[in-house]
Amino acid sequence: MTPSTPQLQRFFYSHYFFGGLRQATGVLIPALVLAGLFGWVASGFVAAVGAACVAILDQPGGPRRYGLNGMFAALCLGSLTTAATGLAASHALAIWIVVPALCFGFSMLTVYGKHGGLLGFACLLIMTLTLRTPLTQADVIQHTLTSFLGGAFYLVYSAIAHRLLWHREEQQALSVALFATADYIGTRARFYDIHADLDDSYRQLIRRQAAMTDAHQAARDMVLRELPRGTRSHGDRLRQGLLNLFVDMINLLDSMVATHTDYSTLRQALPDSDILLFVRDAMRKLALNVAALALNVARNRHTRVRNSVKAELRALEYELQQLRIDGTATAKPELYALLVQVLRRLRNMTRQVDRMADHSVTPVPMAEADLSRANRSLNRFLTRQKWRIGLLTDNLRMQSAHFRYALRVAVAALLSMGVGTAIAYTPMVRSFDPGMAGHSYWIILTVLIIMKPGFALTRQRNGWRLTGTLLGCGLALVLFFLDLDSKVYLLILVLCSILGYGLIQVNYVLSAVCNTLFVLLVFHFLVPGSNTVVGERLVDTVIGSILALGCSYILPSWERNTLDALAQALRTANQAFLHSGLAFVDAVRAQRARGNPDDERVKEAETQWKLCRKNVHVAFSNFASAFYRMMDEPVRRQRHVPEFNRLLIQHHALASQIAAVIPQLALLDAEPEGIRQALAATNDALAGRPAAPPNVIETEGDYAALAYPLRQMSKAAQLIDDNARKLAPAA
């Protein structure tokens, strides 16, 4: 079960739609002004292309500083690309060298991650659209200047929009993260449903966690980039409210992750009990509460009415009392302690959700000292973008996946030019439309849009693009057949532009439909009465899709080749998570011994532990995403699927149990021998050394809450080591 907030409502209040509206407005204004006021239709199109190049780097949900830097880089590189392409287009030989060279160079920018890939695609987009119309050398300067001015306008427009609407953007980024958290809670509730398949629940949970990790990092980069300054200004109060909600959301995630257990054993031990039913219903209600909070944050409203979980918590208390009366607490102390921990964490989650709702109404200000400390600690959780030239040169080798991808794109662009030229000189095509030679650029554009570094992503994008183009062409034919007023066509064009930008990260098929319809309407205004462009776009897209899919087999980079490194990175991250947690426990004990409640060493150790926890989530998301991409590749290109799948599950269990154990250990002055041996066995297994888990773990008093998660920790670590040894020969 996932929260029942309608997806359309989520979308229209999200930063995806808001960002799409901002991008579409900034792209269309230059075109509408130049074409509508001055009648310069061609110049308006060129200015819009320059603005669109810059708009690609204006992504919703990212830090504003990186967005502005990326847009400035796109403006400069895009203008240079326009000039180089325009000059080369007038020379038959030069264009065949310049286009593949630019495709290779800009595709190599993927070494810098998402922002580098977007920058490269923006430059390739403006290169391709510059090929649409042959330019003389005298026209190149005017074309480049017009494109530059369009991009410069968008850069200034976006900077002003960000400055005025910063709070709205941060609200929407936080809302998306809260929705992802609600979806994750709803998926976790499935594990307590005895009728839900555990394997399917794990698959859904892993995908939800990967999506939630990305959403949390996007919100983190927005909310933590500019923290409150301790003043009483209106802007500072707004920042404080968002910071409160973000911290509460992360604390809620901590409580939720720590409730992980061996669900198969739990179902076997309590097959006919209502305990699992009450836990499931409580978590579903909490998911609905968080989703309602997310929607209200996006709508800039306060949250007051919530679903109460008191009935489920009281029912759980009654069931635990019955188990105690029946002797389960004595006969199965670990099981009883586990259920008590589940109840406590549900109470904690309920209090945190209530506090989040209260903070959305009345932000709690932080003291000046706390703000200074928060600035120093939270700054380490932000994403850092490094643009080192050495990173690019180090990947100029055949073993690099980025280098092989750039070669594939260059070859695909060269083939696209060849196919386009061959089509243009086909007698039937020349007799039907002598000007079709200028439309081969659409084949290159299709190839550049579809081709991705991974084979699975390319094939997936291929199907989405074809489906969207087919539907878009069909809708365009219907609209042109109706022969509507030009103002209606203009309105549809604007709506398609907004939805095309807004849907690209949400639903690529619908985004492709809107983008196709948008482009066809643009050509309808440029060349009124010519409906043959619909068929041309469809044919060009089919040809481009075939070329993109065919070229994806050239020096392919299969995901199986990256999984070993990602699995090792996740193992290292979990090991660091455990070590930092034990360091935090030692710091707390030392603080208690000294009697100093404000020991900075404890706060530093806690911050380091939370930072390692974030790194575990990121490493887990990277590994899970690569694994599921491998599952979308041809079967003969997959390897060790069961082992990698078990690694996913065991790493998830290990991280969850570490999160559950460390706070409990911090409450003890010292751990007894059995618990110490369990921790040592976990550490040895993660380090690849022979592990010797204890035969008995203490279960008296407070130790009972530690026995079960410690067994799961050492068991998960041992299974991780066993699976890693099976993979070692292949690696």
Q: Which fold has domain 560-727?
A: A middle domain of Talin 1 (1.20.1420)
Lowest mean pLDDT among 396-405, 528-537, 545-554, 566-575: 528-537
Q: Residue 369: its pLDDT value, please?
A: 45
Burial of 526 (0-12, 13-18, 19+ CB in 10 A): middle
CA distances from residue 162 to 60, 103, 116 in whole angstroms, order as listed: 11, 31, 21
Lowest mean pLDDT among 53-67, 429-443, 595-609: 429-443
Which among 681, 710, 706, 708 is positioned nearest to 693, based on CA atoms? 681
User: pTM here?
Assistant: 0.84
Region for residue 640 given its phi and psi (left: phi exceeds 0; alpha: psi -120 to 50; beta: otherwise): left
Better-predicted residue by pLDDT, 378 or 543: 543
- The answer, yes or no, to whether residue 260 has pLDDT greater than 80, is no
Name residue, tokens 């509507």. Answer: 484
In the chain, % of residues over pLDDT 70? 89
SS3 content of the chain, % helix, strand, coil (to 5): 80, 0, 20
Enter the DSSP assignment of 182. H
What is residue 378's predicted lDDT score, i.e. its pLDDT? 62
Closest CA relative to residue 48, chosen from 136, 131, 125 = 125
In this predicted structure, what is the pLDDT of residue 659?
87
Whose tokens are 């992750």? That residue is 257
For the stretch 286-342, pLDDT in tens is 999 999 899 888 888 876 656 788 889 999 999 888 888 888 878 887 788 788 888
Q: What is the pLDDT of residue 61?
A: 60
Q: For residue 260, which of 175, 188, 323 has the smallest C-alpha distance?
A: 188
- DSSP state, 38? S
Confidence of residue 135 (pLDDT cuts 50, 70, 90): confident
Instruction: Give the rounded percent of residues in the chain with a pLDDT score beyond 90.
Output: 27
Closest CA to 45 of 525, 719, 370, 573: 525
The per-residue pLDDT for range 572-591, each reduced to its tens digit, is 999 999 999 999 999 988 88
Provide the pLDDT confidence category of residue 248 given band limits of 50, 70 and 90.
confident
**Residue 488 CB: number of other CB atoms within 10 A?**
11
Mean pLDDT of 386-399: 85
User: Distance between CA 311 and CA 290 in Å, rounded?
Assistant: 18
518: exposed, middle or buried (Cβ count in 10 Å: 0-12, 13-18, 19+): buried
Across the range 88-114, mean pLDDT stands at 90
Residue 431 scores a pLDDT above 70: no
With CA atoms as reference, report the closest residue to 584 among 608, 563, 607, 605.
605
pLDDT at position 118 over 60:
yes
pLDDT at res. 437: 42
At 383, is the pLDDT very low, low, confident or very high (cuts 50, 70, 90)?
low
Is the pLDDT confidence value at 100 over 90? Answer: yes
The pLDDT of residue 38: 83
DSSP string of 447-506?
HHHH--SSHHHHHHHHHHHHHHHHHHHHHHHHHHHHT--HHHHHHHHHHHHHHHHHHTTT
